[in-house]
Structure 1
Amino acid sequence: MTDLRSSKLQAFGSASIPKLVLMFSVPAIISMCVNAFYNIVDRYFVGQGVGALGIAGITLCFPIMLFIMAMSMIIGVGGNTLFAIRLGEKKYQQASIILNNSFVLLIIMAVSAFALGEIFMDPLLRVFGASDQTLPVASSYMWIILLGAVFQTIAPGMNHFIRSMGHPKTAMLRDIVGALTNVFLDWLFIIQFHWGIEGAAWATISSQLVSSLLIMHFFIKKSTPIKINRRHLHLHFPYVRKIFILGFPPAIMQICNSLMNAILAWSLSTYGNKSLQPTVSMTGGDIAISAFGIINSVVSIAVLPLMGFVQGTQPILGYNYGAKLFDRVRGTLKFAYIYSVAFMIIAWAAIQWKAEVFVAPFAPGDLNMQTVTAWGMRVFTKALPFVPLGMVAGNFFQGTGKAGLSMFQNACRQVIMLIPFLIVMPLFFDLQGVFMAQPMADVGAAITGLLLLRWHLKKME
C-alpha cells in the first residue's frame, strides 16, 4: 500500500501533464456537465410548457435560491473542514459530533430560510424587479421551493462529508441521480401533467428529496464508519462557532453572487422597461429578465465544463509547487491556458454565429423573445474567450495555498468589477449596458489575473 501511494504521488511530479490533467478533470467535468444539462433542460421545459413568463419568474427567484445555497455552504464547507481535520487527527468521537452538529445546523438554516422567505418573499421579488405579471409566477414557484428548503441544504451540505470519508464517486453519483430525476419530473409535471410553474418547483424539490434520501441512507447504513447518531445531535457551541468561522469565508462569494443577481434582475427590469416594447402579457422588463434566464442557461453549457477542466489542474499545480518543480507548474498552466481558451473560442464562435438556434427551443413561436435574447446573448458573450484567463489564475492561487489572492481573483469577475459595471454601464447604454457589464468584467478579471500570475511566477523564480 505504501509503494502504491508513493508511486501515485510521484506521478504528480513525473507523469505526462495532459494525462494527469485529464485524469483529474474528467470526474469534475462530468459533474459540471450534469449541472449544465440539468440547468438547460429545466429552463427548456419551462419555456415549452409555461413560456417566457415562467422563465422570467424563475430568474427573479435566483438571488433568494443562491442565498439559501450560501447558507448550506457555510455549514457544509465549515463543518466538513473541521470534520476532515479531526479525521486526520484520528479523533473520531469529535468527528462524529461535528458531522451530527452540521446536520442539525443545516436543518436550522433551512427552517430559518423558510420563515424569512415567507415573510419577505413578495417585497424582495418586487425589489428585484417583479412586475404585476411576473410576481404571481415567481411567488408560486418560490413558495414551493421554500417548502423544500431543508432538502436544498441537506443534499449539498452533507455531500461534502461523503467525499471526506473517501467516497467521491458516491457523492458524484448522488448528484447525477438528483439532476436526472429533476429532468424527468420536469417533463412529467410540466409537459404531461400541465402543472405549469408549480410543476417546475415540485420537480426541483422532489429531486432534492431523492438526493437527500440517498445521502441520508449513506449515513445510516452499517458500513459507514461515522453515522448520524441521536446521541450527538444536540449542539455543541464550541464546534458550532468553529464551523461558522471556517465556513463563512468560502460562502462570501456565494452571498455576493446572490447580491449581484439581485442587482442584475433590478437592472434588467428597469432598463428593459426603458428599451423594449411591452407585449400583451409581458412588460419590457419582464422580457429582459426572461431573456437573461435563457442566456444564463445556454452560457452555462460552456462555462461549467470549463470550471471542471480548470479544477482538474489544481492538485497537479499544488503538488509541483510544493515540490519546487516550477517547470511543471508552468507546463500545467500553459496546458490549461491553451486548451481552455481554445474551447471558449469555439463556444464564443458558435454563439456569435448561431445564437438564434440556441435560443429558439426556450421560446417556441415567440419571435420577439428570440430576437431580444439572441441579441443579448451576443453582447453578453463578447468576451467569452477571456473567461479562462482569470479562472486559471484564480485556480492556481487556490491550488498553491494563496487563499487571499484566490478569493480576490474569483471575486473580480462576479463582484468587484461586475457590480460597478452593472451600475455604471446602463447609465450610458441602457439595456445594452446591462448585458455589456459581464464582458467588461471578464476582460478586467482576465487582465488582473494575468498580472497577478506574472508577478507571482517571477516571485516563484
Structure 2
Amino acid sequence: MQLDMTKGRPLPVILQFTLPLIIGNIFQQLYNMVDTIIVGRYVGADALAAVGSTGTIMFLLTGFSQGITAGFAILISQRYGAHDADGVKQAVANGTLLSVLFTLFLTCSCLFLMKPLLTIMNTPDNIFADAYSYIMIITAGIVANIFYNLLSAFLRAVGNSKVPLFFLVFSACLNVLLDLFFIIQLHMGVAGAAWATNLAQAISAVLCAIYIWCKIPELKPYRSDWKISRTDTKNQLAAGIPMALQFAITSSGTMIMQSAINLFGSTAVAAFTATGKLQSLLMQGMIAMGQTMATYSGQNFGSGDIKRIKAGVKTALGIALVYALVVTALMCSLLKPALHLFFSGDVDMSAMLPWAQTYAYMCSMFFIPLSTIFIFRNTMQGCGYGFLPMMGGVAELLARLVVSIFAMKILNFRLACFGDPAAWIAAAVFTGISYLYVMRKIEQSHPA
C-alpha cells in the first residue's frame, strides 16, 4: 500500500494520494462537528459557545502536534525516496523518542497556563467554567493526539494514505458513539465530549501502532535503533520545530481573533463556532493537498528530481483552484441548513443567522489565496526548508493582530471577521514569493 511518488505522471499520483486524505480529513472534521452538534442540541447554546471559545486553543494544541510530528516524518520521506531502508528505521525510532519528550513538555505547560489563557481571551463569564473543563480534559489527553498524528505521518511518509483513512473513519464512528453515551446517557455535558475525543484518538493510535508493527516492516526499527541520534535529532528538530511553531504562530493569531469575537457575546460566539465548523469541513481538501505535497516533495527531493517537484506544484495549484471555487459555492448555499443542525428548536435562529452570514460570506471570497498557502508551505517543508514557511505564519499573525486590535477598539464585528481573510492574503503572498526563492536556491545546489 506504499506509494513511490517519484514515478508516474504527477496528476494521477497526486490524486491517488490526496483522495484518501480528503476523505479522512473530512471524517475527522465530521466527528468534531458531531461533537459540536450533540453539545449544542443536548446541552445548550451556552455549552456550544463554551466549546467554541476553546476552538483556537484546540487548534494550537492539535496544530502543534501535527506540525512537530509531520516535521519528524519529513526525514523519513526523504530517506524513503533515496531508498535508504536503514535510515528510515532509525528516523522512525528517533522521531518516536522525541515525540515522548514533546508530549511531556506540552502537557505540563498547558495544564498550568490554561486558566490565564482563557481569561486573556475575554471568555464570557457565563461559559467560562464549561470552557475550562472542556479544554483541561483535552489537554490531559494530548498524548493520544500526538501519537496518532505521529503514526499517521510515518505512514504518509512512505506513501500510505489509505490506512490512516481507515483509522480516522473508525475513530470518527467511535467518537460519535462515545459522545452519545457520555452526553445523553451519562449527562456529562461538555466534559463528556472531551473524554469521547480523547478515548477515540487513543484507541486509534494504539491500532495504528499495531498495524505498523505487524504489516509495515519498513517502519519497524531494529532494537539497536532505539536511542537518540544526534544527527537525526538535528534534522528532525530542524524540520519539526519550525512546522510546530508555524502552527503555534498561526493559532496565536486566531486566538487574538477569537478574543475580538468573544466581545460580542455568547450568541455571536455560538454562531461563529458553528460557521467555523462548516468552513473547516470545506477546507479539508486544501489541507489534504498540502499534506500530499509534503510527501511528494520530500520523496522527490530525496531522489534529487527538482523538475518533478515543480511540475507537481503546478498540477496541485490547478486542482486547488477548481476546489476553491466549488467550496465557495458550497459555503454560501449550505450555511443556513447547516446552522439548524447545531441548535435545538428553542434557539432563536433569526438572531444567530446574521452573525454567521457575516463571517461565512466574507471568508468564502478568499478561499483561492487560502488554498495556495498549503501547497507552497508544505512543498518547502518537504524539501527541508522550515524557516520561510514558519515566517508565513508570522505574516498571518501580524495581519490578524492588526485587524483584531482595530476591531476590538471600534467594536466592529465585520472587521473582526476580516481577520481570517487578511491573514490568508498576507500568507499567500509571502509563501508564494518564498516558494520561488526556495526553488531557485535548490536548483542552484542541484544542477541538472
Pairwise TM-score range, normalised by the shorter structure: 0.7 to 0.9
Asked if structure 1 preserves the Cα contact closer than 8 Å seen for 2:76 and 2:158, the reply is: no
Cα distance in structure 1, aligned partners of 2:309 and 2:65: 37
Q: Report which stretch shifted further, 405-414 or 83-92.
A: 405-414
Alignment of 1:43-442 (within 5 A): 43-73=36-66, 75-87=68-80, 88=82, 90=84, 92=86, 95-221=88-214, 224-227=217-220, 232-269=225-262, 271-272=263-264, 284=265, 286-308=266-288, 322-323=306-307, 332=315, 335-336=318-319, 339-351=322-334, 355-368=335-348, 371-392=351-372, 395=375, 399=379, 407=389, 411=393, 414-442=396-424
Identify unmatched segments of 5+ residues in structure 2: 444-448
Q: Give 3-state SS (helix, strand or coil) of 2:97's partner.
A: helix
More displaced 10-residue stretch of structure 1: 399-408 or 217-226: 399-408
The structural deviation recorded for 1:254 is 0.8
CA distance in 2, matches of 1:86, 1:358: 44
How far has the Cα of 1:380 moved from its partner? 4.0
CA RMSD of aligned residues (A): 4.1
Query: 2:175 aligns to what SS in structure 1?
Result: helix
Alpha-carbon spacing, 1:374–1:455, altered in 2? closer, same or farther (3 Å): farther
Distance 1:180 1:255 in 2: 29
Distance in 2, matches of 1:218 and 1:187, equals 28
CA offsets 1:80-105 (integer angstroms, 9 cap, x no match)? 2233445536361x543432232233
| 1:9 to 2:7 alignment | yes
Aligned in 2, Cα 1:370/1:360: closer, same or farther, shift over 3 Å? farther
Structure with the greater alpha carbon radius of gyration: 1
Between the two proteins, the alignment pairs up a number of residues equal to 433
Alpha-carbon distance in structure 1 between the residues aligned to 2:289 and 2:216:
33
Asked if the contact 2:239–2:385 (Cα under 8 Å) also holds between the matched residues in 1, the reply is no
What CA deviation, in whole Å up to 9, does each residue of 1:284-317 have, x standing for no partner?
2x3333322212101123222344367668859x
In structure 1, what is the Cα distance between the partners aligned to 2:227 and 2:435?
46
TM-score, normalising length: structure 2: 0.80
The SS at the match of 1:167 is coil
Q: What is the Cα deviation at residue 144 of structure 1? A: 1.9
Task: Give, in whole Å, the separation in 1 of the partners of 2:391 and 2:397.
Answer: 10
Deviates more, 1:124-133 or 1:307-316: 307-316
Whether the aligned pair in 2 keeps the contact of 1:24 and 1:313 (CA below 8 Å) is no
Q: Is the 8 A contact 1:48 1:362 kept in 2?
A: yes
Q: Contact 2:36–2:342 (CA<8 Å) still a contact in 1? A: yes
| TM-score of the superposed pair, with normalisation by structure 1 | 0.78
The structural deviation recorded for 1:53 is: 2.0
Residue aligning to 2:446 = none
- 2:123 match: secondary structure: coil
1:62 partner letter: G
Work out whether residues 74 and 251 of structure 1, in 8 Å CA contact, stay in contact via their aligned partners in 2.
yes
Q: Judge conservation of contact 2:170–2:204 (CA < 8 Å) in 1.
A: yes
CA deviation string 1:56-98 (max 9, x = no partner):
2222333443333344345423322233445536361x54343
The Cα of 1:213 is off from its aligned counterpart by 0.8
**Could you tell me whether the CA contact under 8 Å between 2:179 and 2:192 is conserved in 1?**
yes
Whole-Å separation in 2 of the counterparts to 1:102 and 1:455: 29
Single out whichever of 404-413 and 171-180 deviates more from structure 2: 404-413
